[in-house]
Amino acid sequence: MRIAVRVVAALVLLCCAVSARQEQKAPGAGTAAEYKIPPEASKLPNPVKSTPASLAAGKKTYGFDCAMCHGKDGDGKGDLATDMKLKLADYRDPASLKDMTDGDLFYIIKNGKGEMTGEGERSKPEEIWNVVIYIRSLAKKDFTAPAKQ
């Protein structure tokens, strides 16, 4: 009986220690201030040329994997983002991506950022580059920011 009590007590302590360690890591994870894109990733040029075919492929992938958060037209107001109360960039605004390289976008799509999970190995590099092309195409030259509500 004493051995069983000791084993249970040891397991409870182990579970508490693991739980406390995970809680210490969680708050810092995904904060924008500490998110860094490696310089070598940022410098990557898009090897895929923008063509009607690459744009169509990027739009198809975006529709399946991105629109639920980033919105069908890139406004950042997809159903999931709204439900999670996330404030995402409006890709229709040319200023939203002006400081980001294609390599930056590729890195974020592949690896994720904040609440966004990355594509990882689920998508081939060419598919991700097509999404980069499509996201760039969403910017409107005559964009006017919507009035704040």
Q: What is the pLDDT of residues 41-57, one digit of tens each?
A: 999 999 999 999 999 99
What's the pLDDT at 8? 43
What's the pLDDT at 30? 45
Q: Could you tell me the residue ranges of all domains in the chain?
A: 38-137
Contact 141, 110 (CB under 8 A): no
Torsion of CA 76, 99, 137, 75, to 10 degrees: 10
What's the pLDDT at 140? 86
Q: How far apart are CA 75 and CA 69, in angstroms?
A: 9
Q: What are phi and psi of 52, to 5 degrees?
A: -55, -35
Is the domain defined by 38-137 classed in CATH 1.10.760.10?
yes
Confidence of residue 35 (pLDDT cuts 50, 70, 90): confident
